[in-house]
Amino acid sequence: MKTWLKIAAAASFAFSTTVTADTLTLQWDSPVFNPLGYPDPISLSTDSGLTSQSVRGGRFQGTVLGVTGVINASNLVDSADDFWTYCYDLFQYIHNGETVTYTVNYAGPTARTLDFLGAVDYVLNGNSNTWSDPFAWLHPANSHVAAAIQIGIWESLYDTSGWSLDAGLFRASGLQAATLTQYAAFQNAVTSPSVNDLPALFAATIESDTHQDQIIGRVSRVVPQQELPEPGSLALFALAGVLAAVTRRRWS
């Protein structure tokens, strides 16, 4: 039986090495923020290894130059020329005009982030769970709305409970009054049990070892390869059936 287990392990390795991740190559716009006129620098700090720093919060814009894997141009929320993202990583950076190839992680956004983005959609769709635009969080009307969404995404990522920007593991100060007003509306919605979360199929993250990770939207009809049985898994299921049959014959 040990011999068969060794064969199964070898087969697992062989098939797993044939599965490759989806990638997305993105050229950041210059300037990278859209809408422009973003708020004054925001002072941020966390209790999870991030020292105080000053950043600008808003929505990023780039151009998709190419993709690999199951994702393609029809899966983009808007278009390859108008590709919107928010920062999902405060430990690295991106710069205007640079080109980066990212790995797509379909399971990237945390449950807390999906909770917050559902609240954003609720507010931006007229305080309703019936969303005329499920990607309203990617379509802020102005820089203050964009900044409030970005701050909430950071809060969802780096804190573990609560939505206050004054306490907890993530703190932010220096926001303009209009941004704080918009964030308060999102905060009220996210703490309401009647507001729906954003479905996981509406968001993903794109990740890099050398550049700032981002959260993106994706069309819900896309079924990524991570959610399908991989070719290796299918083969292992078949191999498991063969092993079971052999074992039954040996012990019958």
What's the pLDDT tens digit per position in 154-166? Answer: 999 999 999 999 9
More confident position, 237 or 200: 200
Instruction: Give the integer Cα–Cα distance in Å for 76 and 72.
Output: 7
Task: Return the bridge partners of 104, or none.
Answer: 206
Q: What is the pLDDT of residue 61?
A: 96
Q: What is the pLDDT of residues 9-60, one digit of tens each?
A: 343 333 333 457 899 999 999 999 998 766 667 777 766 666 667 788 899 9
Q: What is the pLDDT of residues 70-107, one digit of tens each?
A: 888 788 899 999 999 999 998 899 999 999 999 999 99
> 182 CB contacts (<8 Å, ≥6 apart)?
144, 145, 147, 148
Stretch 173-197: mean pLDDT: 95
Domain ranges in the chain? 1-19+235-252, 23-229
Structure tokens at 231: 């070719």
Model confidence, pTM: 0.79
Q: What is the pLDDT of residue 51?
A: 62
